[in-house]
Amino acid sequence: MSKPAPIRRMPQIAHVDVNCFYASAERAFDPALEGRPVVVLSNNDGCAVTRSPEAKALGIPLGEPWFKLAPRAKEWGLVALSSNYELYGDISARVMELLGRYSAWLEVYSIDEAFLGVKGAPDELLALGWTMKSAVRRHVGVPVCVGIAGTKTLAKLANKWAKNNPAFEGVCHWDSVPAAAREALMGSLSVVEIWGVAARLTRRLNVLGIHSILELSRADPVMIRDRFSVVMMRTVLELQGTPCIPMEEERIGRDQLIFSRSFANPITTAAAMRQVLSVYGQQASARLAKHGLQAKVLTAFAGTSHFNPKETSYPSACVRLPVPTADPVVLTKAAHALLPRIHEGVRYARAGIMVTDLRPTGNQAPLAVFENPHEERHIGTLLEDVTRRYGRGSIGLGHAGIRGGPDWTMKRDMLSPRYTTHWDELPLVKAA
């Protein structure tokens, strides 16, 4: 394209993430939780993995075991909920699909956060931030904050600022904030607060006289590369305003695993997308197996090319797996749930899958191994017939079958309804 270039503005990056995602997803369907302290517990109802602002205000630390909280829950009015991964997966898919409408470039970074490429004058960027914030609230019912800056690292920092300082009302455009205020903020935050700096490196940075984010931003990138790593150098460059953190293709979060990449040549057919999703399914399987994990929920997503903003489309599909699994065949088939939403001829520039609701493989492994071959040999039907006649637990495969799948052993006493994914668990509306 050789059009005369109008005033070009450097593209910026918006980082959008949902506030207290799991707790907010629960509130979206249960308004009675609004204003009350809410914690969402990890698998097996172990410890608090998400706290609503009210729960934080009570001084409940992240990761606090439930047995310590339970005795005081009543006195606090604390509501504890088991992780409802199917609900969170669907809410996440809705948020990402909606955000995709506001940018031709979207990187799903985790279950509750995304980076988007944005352009415009500062006031336009702020307006876009507000628009996205209110759209997510209206469509999905969850609150988000938005940070906009020249690099991913600064966008994340801006978002954190927007979350912690009510004056921003949830949207912070880094470059619109006076430089003195930005430096004051960076000077007040420890390096451990910045995205990409591992806590274990803090002491080594401190030895060099680097304590705050501001000091890190003033460090010599080459020295940092030599003493630490390229990763740390990128953080320094990003803090200085040079974008250099590429799209990551594989990420492991606290309770999720993501595979995604952009394609050199856009994918335009469902057949090609099927292949890509199959590759991810197998990669996810290998990665889960390596970490001794199984997944119960899978989300597959795709996005259009950012070279053609006219056909913006970000379809996604969230799939509940029959049993927790790391089986490549099961994961691949699940990822294919996206295919009906892939339109022939549309140019998809990226795709990915995310697996959540992870739990250790433990001694349930034989169940997953037997699950599929037996389906094909009609042993499943036989088992069902016997179960129907003689009751659950009367027959099983090896000892795994008889012992019951992990879902029966998984403790989830405080599970909310799977409002959006099960016909028999729909939200109830009172007609009275």
Partner 1 sequence: MGVLVGPRVIDAGMSLLSVLISPVPVAAGYPSPAQDYFDGRIDLNEHLIKDITSTYVVRVSGDSMEGAGISDGDELIVNRALEPKDGSVVIAVLDGELTIKRLRVTGTGVVLQAENPAYPDIRVPSVSDLVIWGVATRCLHHV
Q: Where do contacts with partner 1 occur on this chain (CB under 8 A)?
A: 31-32, 34, 86, 89-90, 93-95, 97-98, 135, 138-141, 298-299, 316-322, 330, 333-334, 337, 340-341, 418-423, 426-432
Output the CA–CA distances (angstroms, integers) from residue 277 to 259, 315, 350, 381, in the order listed: 10, 13, 11, 29
| Contact call for residues 25 and 136 (beta carbons, < 8 A) | no
- In the complex, least distance from residue 96 CB atom to partner 1, rounded to whole angstroms: 9
Measure the CA–CA gap between 394 and 396, rounded to whole angstroms. 7
Q: Which is nearer to partner 1, 116 or 219 (CB)?
A: 116
Torsion of CA 360, 364, 370, 375, to 10 degrees: -80
Q: Which is nearer to partner 1, 1 or 429 (CB)?
A: 429
Q: Which is nearer to partner 1, 100 or 150 (CB)?
A: 100
- Is residue 28 classed as helix, strand or coil in its secondary structure? coil
- In the complex, least distance from residue 189 CB atom to partner 1, rounded to whole angstroms: 34
Residue type, 323: V
Output the CA–CA distances (angstroms, integers) from residue 86 to 191, 208, 242, 346, 411, in the order listed: 35, 46, 38, 28, 16
Q: Which is nearer to partner 1, 261 or 333 (CB)?
A: 333
Measure the CA–CA gap between 342 and 427, rounded to whole angstroms. 29
| Contact call for residues 348 and 273 (beta carbons, < 8 A) | yes
**Which residue intervals of 122-269 are DSSP H helices?**
122-140, 152-164, 179-188, 202-207, 213-217, 221-227, 230-239
409 class by beta-carbon count within 10 Å (0-12 exposed, 13-18 middle, 19+ buried): exposed
Measure the CA–CA gap between 161 and 174, rounded to whole angstroms. 9
Q: Which is nearer to partner 1, 114 or 205 (CB)?
A: 114
Report phi then psi at 163, rounded to 5: -70, -40
Q: Which is nearer to partner 1, 254 or 422 (CB)?
A: 422
Q: Which is nearer to partner 1, 151 or 299 (CB)?
A: 299
Measure the CA–CA gap between 6 and 382, rounded to whole angstroms. 70
Q: Which is nearer to partner 1, 259 or 419 (CB)?
A: 419
String of DSSP letters for 68-116: HHHHHHHHHT-EEEE--HHHHHHHHHHHHHHHGGG-S-EEEEETTEEEE
- According to DSSP, the residues that pair with 81 across neighbouring strands are 40
- In the complex, least distance from residue 419 CB atom to partner 1, rounded to whole angstroms: 8
- In the complex, least distance from residue 334 CB atom to partner 1, rounded to whole angstroms: 5
Q: Which is nearer to partner 1, 182 or 418 (CB)?
A: 418
Q: Which is nearer to partner 1, 241 or 417 (CB)?
A: 417
- In the complex, least distance from residue 44 CB atom to partner 1, rounded to whole angstroms: 22
- In the complex, least distance from residue 243 CB atom to partner 1, rounded to whole angstroms: 29
Output the CA–CA distances (angstroms, integers) from residue 54 to 37, 74, 76, 336, in the order listed: 4, 15, 10, 40
- In the complex, least distance from residue 145 CB atom to partner 1, rounded to whole angstroms: 19
Maximum CA pair distance of the chain?
78
- In the complex, least distance from residue 317 CB atom to partner 1, rounded to whole angstroms: 5
Q: Which is nearer to partner 1, 217 or 356 (CB)?
A: 356
- In the complex, least distance from residue 169 CB atom to partner 1, rounded to whole angstroms: 18
Distance, first Cα to last Cα, the chain? 62
Measure the CA–CA gap between 214 and 188, rounded to whole angstroms. 8
- In the complex, least distance from residue 177 CB atom to partner 1, rounded to whole angstroms: 31
- In the complex, least distance from residue 300 CB atom to partner 1, rounded to whole angstroms: 10
